[in-house]
Chains A and B, each alone.
Chain A
Amino acid sequence: MKWRILGLETHDAYLNMAIDEAISESVRKGSSLPTIRFYNWEPNAVSIGYFQSIKDEVNLDICRELGVDCIRRWTGGGAVYHDFEGEITYSVIAPANVFPGNIINSYGLICGWLVKGLESLGIEAEFRPVNDILVKGKKISGSAQTRRGGILLQHGTLLYGLDLQTMFSVLNVSRQKITDKMIKSAEERVTCIKMHCNADKKEVYEALVDAFTKGKDYEIGELNMDELARARELAQGKYRSVGWTYLR
């Protein structure tokens, strides 16, 4: 099977999530190859899981104040703060029958590519089911998956740097409650690339591309015009809509 690789791009939250869905549609129709893409979020954003309530999870006032976008994902899981400087996000979109039917095993397979990428940077990492990757017992990556219409979409983040202060302020914890103890507690549970090696973000990205493509037949590609048009339509009509954002 041949894959299409989409190199590192930067979009806002709405277009990023819409691109994933547009690619899922085109892969389902057979008009695009199974795809792996890498991307950044600009402006910074909070994404919540498909089943979460944005009012429960996100401090919308602080997000407005800081210019942080808020979006509901197509995938389950928890709320994530996406920092332009502090992470690289990936998506894998392919027919579900390419992967193990057992969802945790399929997380393990794709997360294994991330683990290999980290290893090539000299960072020993391990997959921790359901959907996390740990380094020395601390979370460095989280992923989320959906399977719709026979297509598997898994996307996830790899933490390059940490801005816990902002992360806590945009997630639904009041400013008064963002204590030193809370920051310290989070630092004991979460880590990032910068804490383990000197690689810059470009080197990390290149390591991920190598690990994700190893042993695969692939071509470096780009979104086709139909996908881009569909993504713009989904970004505006779905992901920015009040109905979608406040679905739960």
Chain B
Amino acid sequence: MQGLTSRRLILISYSSRKVKEGKIVKIEAEFDEFIKKIRISGDFFLHPEEVLDDIENTMVGLEKDTGLDELVMKIQDAAGDAQMIGISPESIAMVLKEALK
């Protein structure tokens, strides 16, 4: 599922997918040429939970066309030793790429 609306030059886009690890990941992204803000939600588990804020913050400022591999690496770096259940850095990155299209 994907939606797109325009607010001046900032685009707000939304993507949602049941990822291969089994849980649903939803991402709302605000961006122009760069990512301004993202919000990740879903029915997954992440321990410790606060790591999700770090992952979201790490994405801010990246070019919207940042490659999948680099997004995965950034998410892995932000996640550190956190345990992800039902999601993975790859899955988050794929849904984010979808939202940034």
B28 → chain A closest CB, angstroms: 9
A209 to B24, CA, bound (A): 33
Number of interface residues of A (CB under 8 A): 21
Give chain A residues whose Cβ lies under 8 Å from the Cβ of B46. Answer: 51, 76
Which residues, 39 to 68 on B, are CB-close (under 8 Å) to A? 39-49, 52
A53 touches B26 (CB 8 A): yes
Q: What CA separation (Å) do A248 and B43 show in the bound complex?
A: 12
C-alpha spacing A244/B43, complex, angstroms? 17
Q: A148 at the A/B interface (Cβ < 8 Å)?
A: yes
Could you tell me if B47 and A56 are in contact, using CB atoms closer than 8 angstroms?
no
Q: Are B45 and A77 in contact (CB under 8 A)?
A: yes
Whole-angstrom CA separation of A51 from B23 in the bound complex? 12
Please give the distance in Å from B30's CB to the nearest CB on chain A: 15
Q: Report which A residues bind B (CB closer than 8 A).
A: 49-53, 56, 75-79, 103-104, 130-131, 144-148, 248
Main secondary structure of the interface of B (DSSP, over half): strand
Q: How many A-B residue pairs lie within 8 Å, measured between CB atoms?
A: 53
**8 A-B residue pairs with CB within 8 Å:** A49-B43, A51-B42, A51-B49, A52-B43, A76-B43, A77-B44, A104-B85, A145-B45
A50 to B48, CA, bound (A): 12
**What are the nearest 9 A-B pairs in CB distance?**
A78-B43, A76-B45, A53-B41, A248-B41, A49-B43, A130-B85, A51-B41, A103-B83, A52-B41
User: Shortest CB–CB separation between residue A129 and chain B, in angstroms?
Assistant: 9
**Interface SS of chain A: helix, strand, loop or mixed?**
loop
Beta-carbon contact of B41 and A146 below 8 Å: no
A57 to B45, CA, bound (A): 16
- Beta-carbon contact of B43 and A103 below 8 Å: no
Q: CB-nearest residue of chain A relative to B85?
A: A130
Task: Give the distance to chain B from A96, nearest Cβ to Cβ, in Å.
Answer: 10
Interface size on B (CB < 8 Å)?
A: 18
B residues less than 8 Å from A53 (CB atoms): 26, 41
A76 proximity list for chain B (CB < 8 A) = 43-46, 49, 85
B68-85 vs A, Cβ < 8 Å mask (1 yes, 0 no): 000000000000000101
Give the residues in chain A near B22, CB-CB below 8 Å. Answer: 130
Contact B49 A146 (CB under 8 A): yes
Residues from chain B with a CB closer than 8 A to the CB of A75 are 45
**In the complex, which of the residues B22, B24, B26, B42 has the most CB atoms of chain A within 10 Å of its own CB atom?**
B42
Give bound CA distance, A199 to B26, whole Å: 40
CB distance from A82 to the nearest CB of B (A): 16
B-chain residues with CB within 8 Å of residue A79 when the two chains form the complex: 43
Min CB–CB distance B25 → chain A (angstroms):
9
**Bound state CA distance, A51 and B42, in angstroms?**
6
Q: Is the CB of A103 within 8 A of B45?
A: yes
